[in-house]
A and B are shown apart, each in its own frame.
Chain A
Amino acid sequence: MHELSIAMSIVEMAQAEALQRGVQIRAVHVKLGALSGVVKQALLSSYEMACDDTLLRGSRLVIEDVPVVIFCPKCKVPRPLSSVQLFCCGECGTPTSEIVQGRELEVVALETQ
């Protein structure tokens, strides 16, 4: 399980921003791709632990799930993937492993007050 170390990195980043901007943070918004290798539930529970003894204590982690989008070489357009167990175009069925979205693991916004 590497979610705790991921959560600690998120807290560290947010804390640095809080100090730099002189604000208090109520929530951290994160984008989490379906292929990020991070389990959402584990990240949520690790977050609280990671916030202990930091300026982020009591803050919330808001996770936005990012679905996988592949690029179909035949249709020549990005297509949402319906299952990570079958990498192919949902329209024409062409197999592809060109991933255009879904690996995200990003802090995107901070809710301050």
Chain B
Amino acid sequence: MSPEPRLVEVRKNVLKQNDMVARALRARFRAAGVFVVSLVSSPGSGKTAFLEKTLTLLRPHYRVAALVGDLATENDAARLACSQAPVKQIITGTLCHLEAAMVQNAVDEEEWDLSQLDFLFIENVGNLVCPSAYDLGEDLRVVLLSVTEGEDKPLKYPTIFNSADVAIVTKSDLAEAVQFDSEATRRNIQAVRPGMLVFQLSAKNGQGIGEYLGFLAARLAESRAAAAV
């Protein structure tokens, strides 16, 4: 006798495992009072350069550290180490994105005392598709877009813009050379993510970065005030 096929309802979130680890991480970060910022973009948009500048400028005033994901090399960590901040490379191998468990392992391996940190930055693998679905336990997700990439990038990757909190338009020192249309870019960002905060800056000459750093400082203060209640 061959039984009738039947449908059994299950309802399971496929990313449940990652979401659970991310939730635990977020609670841990919050308890330690560290504000966690992740960076996503296409390869070459300028995440490492931007992070290097951020770490260098923040370090005299804040305790900072960084994790950096890459498919194969440790080059980015070596570049970031110039900032004198503690940096840990996560090599993902064939995986095109970071997952919460990798962040957890990296933090545990380094034995960083999170309560001694103000900011922890996480550079994701260069990819505008895969990282969108993976919560890393961060407080703020920043998506970078360089002026050389074309104004319509947000329209091509609405999902990642939707998963991010803030957009950075970087390499603004090259804007004129490539006839970058800042207005069109902002319009496209607002089309896929109404209300998204946008900072335009250059990691090379530092222009515009102060405003972003001020924003980070305010968010850190807000998050600590909320935790103290």
| Residues in chain A within 8 A of chain B (CB atoms) | 1-2, 5-6, 9-10, 13, 17, 21, 23, 26, 29-30, 35-39, 84-88, 95-97, 99, 105-113
Can you offer 25 A-B residue contacts whose CB atoms are under 8 A?
A: A1-B96, A1-B130, A2-B97, A2-B129, A2-B130, A9-B15, A13-B12, A21-B8, A23-B8, A26-B5, A36-B133, A37-B132, A84-B192, A87-B194, A95-B194, A97-B196, A105-B13, A105-B133, A106-B11, A109-B8, A110-B8, A111-B5, A111-B6, A111-B7, A112-B7
Contact with A along B147-176 (1 / 0, CB 8 A): 000000001001110110000000000000
Question: B104 at the A/B interface (Cβ < 8 Å)?
Answer: no
Interface residues on B, range: 35 or more
Residue of B6, B96, B194, B195 with most chain A CB atoms under a 10 A cut-off: B194
Whole-angstrom CA separation of A85 from B130 in the bound complex = 18
Set B12, B96, B193, B195: member contacting A106, Cβ < 8 A: B12
CB distance from B124 to the nearest CB of A (A): 12
User: Majority SS of interface residues in chain B?
Assistant: mixed
Cβ-closest chain A residue relative to B8: A110
Set B6, B11, B162: member contacting A112, Cβ < 8 A: B6
Question: B111 at the A/B interface (Cβ < 8 Å)?
Answer: no
Asked whether, in the complex, the Cβ of A108 is within 8 Å of the Cβ of B14, the reply is no
Asked whether, in the complex, the Cβ of B196 is within 8 Å of the Cβ of A107, the reply is no
CB contacts under 8 Å to A, within B84-126, are 95-97
Asked whether, in the complex, the Cβ of A85 is within 8 Å of the Cβ of B191, the reply is yes
Asked whether, in the complex, the Cβ of B163 is within 8 Å of the Cβ of A37, the reply is yes
Cβ-closest chain A residue relative to B155: A85
Asked whether, in the complex, the Cβ of B14 is within 8 Å of the Cβ of A87, the reply is no
Asked whether, in the complex, the Cβ of B192 is within 8 Å of the Cβ of A85, the reply is yes
Cβ-closest chain B residue relative to A42: B129
Asked whether, in the complex, the Cβ of A96 is within 8 Å of the Cβ of B8, the reply is no
Whole-angstrom CA separation of A6 from B134 in the bound complex = 11
Whole-angstrom CA separation of A30 from B13 in the bound complex = 10
CB distance from A112 to the nearest CB of B (A): 6
CB distance from A7 to the nearest CB of B (A): 9
CB distance from B191 to the nearest CB of A (A): 5
CB distance from A81 to the nearest CB of B (A): 10
Asked whether, in the complex, the Cβ of B96 is within 8 Å of the Cβ of A10, the reply is no
Residues of chain B contacted by A21 (CB below 8 angstroms): 8
Contact with A along B1-37 (1 / 0, CB 8 A): 0111111111111110100000000000000000000
CB distance from B125 to the nearest CB of A (A): 10
Asked whether, in the complex, the Cβ of A113 is within 8 Å of the Cβ of B9, the reply is no
Whole-angstrom CA separation of A109 from B7 in the bound complex = 6
Q: A105-B14, A110-B10, A113-B4 are in contact. List 15 more A-B contacts (CB 8 A).
A: A10-B14, A13-B14, A21-B8, A37-B130, A86-B191, A95-B190, A95-B195, A105-B133, A106-B13, A106-B14, A109-B7, A109-B10, A111-B5, A111-B6, A111-B8
Set A10, A35, A111: member contacting B162, Cβ < 8 A: A35
Asked whether, in the complex, the Cβ of B12 is within 8 Å of the Cβ of A96, the reply is no
CB distance from B117 to the nearest CB of A (A): 29
Asked whether, in the complex, the Cβ of B95 is within 8 Å of the Cβ of A107, the reply is no
